[in-house]
Structure 1
Amino acid sequence: MGKRIEQKVVLDLLEMSELTEQEVELLDKAKKALENAYAPYSNFNVGAALLLEDGQILTANNQENASFPVGVCAERTLLGYANANFPKVKPLKIMIVAKRSQESNYATVSPCGLCRQTINEYELKFDQAIEILMLTPEGNILKAENISQLLPFKFDDLTS
């Protein structure tokens, strides 16, 4: 038998009382961003808030299009905006929330594959982990210390 390669994935499940003031602010801003999502086709609204190294918090939401591949996720909208406007400021934490239209409870959400790869790209660019925080329907926060916890065998080495 060949060699086995394993990678351990660890997520922390935090209660609201365990969040820092800054993380609570990220959550509040991600929820507010969700309210302006444009998702008339899927009715799945996503909001995200990004903490930058200098303390700024930026927000974005998903933007759908009748031509489905043209839509953009909240996370990619947010990271693209951050890099376009603050190209030298490291992103530290991203908070993601989701809710289906006409429902009062939040939905479980984690970044899609494209968003995971985009987060990876910014971790590589800044040589720094980006903490990923995701609201659960129960009102807790799932925390991944970096993208490797959500994308264990990521595509990031084009030299070998």
Structure 2
Amino acid sequence: MKELNINTTFSVFNGIHDLPEDIQSLMHLAIETRKKAYAPYSLFRVGAAILLDNGKIVVGNNQENAAYPSGLCAERVAIFQAGAVYPDSKIVKLAITAASDHNPTLAPIPPCGACRQSIAEYEFKQDIPIEIYFMGESGEIYKSNSIKNLLPLSFDKTSL
């Protein structure tokens, strides 16, 4: 038997004011979009904003449904919208923010597993990494240079 050791590295920003200006703007869009989330069941609101290589920005927020599996996370709403409207553009940066109506979310909230897999699909398709910035409603922001930091043993088309 041998051991496999996987290391990941994230950059940590103290708050929005410490981000580069373009990312501050992207995160502010994610925050505004988060506030419009349809989350009557979980009361957990997520917003995402994507910068494409053509300069366009696409946003998404979580959309819940009484039939729980029918809802969709903010990241996938934004990613699928980008893929539908701008199919030839590449995703350059993704900003994510999450907040609960019940408790303060002061730690960075990463994408769920299904969203990580969806981000991976697009990153592998476009063959360039996607910078991912994520935060709670306030506080520190983590930056990953690629989905590979969040999903190191990825499943993609080469596995099929």
- Asked if 1 retains the 8 angstrom alpha-carbon contact of 2:104 and 2:137, the reply is no
Partner in structure 2 of residue 49 of structure 1: 49
Unaligned runs of 5+ in 1: none
For residues 14-62 of structure 1, what are the alpha-carbon distances to aligned partners after superposition, in whole Å with 9 as ceiling and x for unaligned?
1334321110110110000011100000000000000111111111100
How far 1:137 sits from its partner (Å)? 5.3
Rounded to whole Å, the distance in 2 between the matches of 1:105 and 1:123 is 28
- Asked if 2 retains the 8 angstrom alpha-carbon contact of 1:13 and 1:143, the reply is yes
- Asked if 2 retains the 8 angstrom alpha-carbon contact of 1:51 and 1:92, the reply is yes
Rounded to whole Å, the distance in 2 between the matches of 1:69 and 1:14 is 34
Which amino acid letter does the alignment assign opposite residue 12 of structure 1? Answer: S
- Asked if 2 retains the 8 angstrom alpha-carbon contact of 1:98 and 1:107, the reply is no
Q: Which runs of 4+ in 1 moved over 4 A?
A: 102-107
Rounded to whole Å, the distance in 2 between the matches of 1:159 and 1:140 is 36
- Asked if 2 retains the 8 angstrom alpha-carbon contact of 1:97 and 1:107, the reply is no
Which amino acid letter does the alignment assign opposite residue 7 of structure 1? Answer: I
Rounded to whole Å, the distance in 2 between the matches of 1:43 and 1:81 is 23
Rounded to whole Å, the distance in 2 between the matches of 1:65 and 1:132 is 27
Partner in structure 2 of residue 59 of structure 1: 59
Rounded to whole Å, the distance in 2 between the matches of 1:64 and 1:34 is 13
**Cα RMSD, aligned residues only:** 1.8
Q: How does 1:12-91 map to 2 (within 5 A)?
A: 12-15=11-14, 16-91=16-91
How far 1:154 sits from its partner (Å)? 1.2
Which amino acid letter does the alignment assign opposite residue 3 of structure 1? Answer: K
- % identity of equivalent residues: 40
How far 1:102 sits from its partner (Å)? 5.7
TM-score, structure 2 normalization? 0.91
Q: Secondary structure at the match of 1:22?
A: helix
Distance 1:97 1:146, change over 3 A: same
How far 1:141 sits from its partner (Å)? 1.2
Partner in structure 1 of residue 4 of structure 2: 5
Partner in structure 2 of residue 109 of structure 1: 109
Question: 2:158 matched to 1:154?
Answer: no
- Asked if 1 retains the 8 angstrom alpha-carbon contact of 2:47 and 2:61, the reply is yes
TM-score, structure 1 normalization? 0.91
- Asked if 1 retains the 8 angstrom alpha-carbon contact of 2:99 and 2:136, the reply is no
Matched residues, number: 159
How far 1:125 sits from its partner (Å)? 0.8
Q: Secondary structure at the match of 2:118?
A: helix
Which deviates more from structure 2 when the two are superposed, residues 74-83 or residues 137-146? 137-146
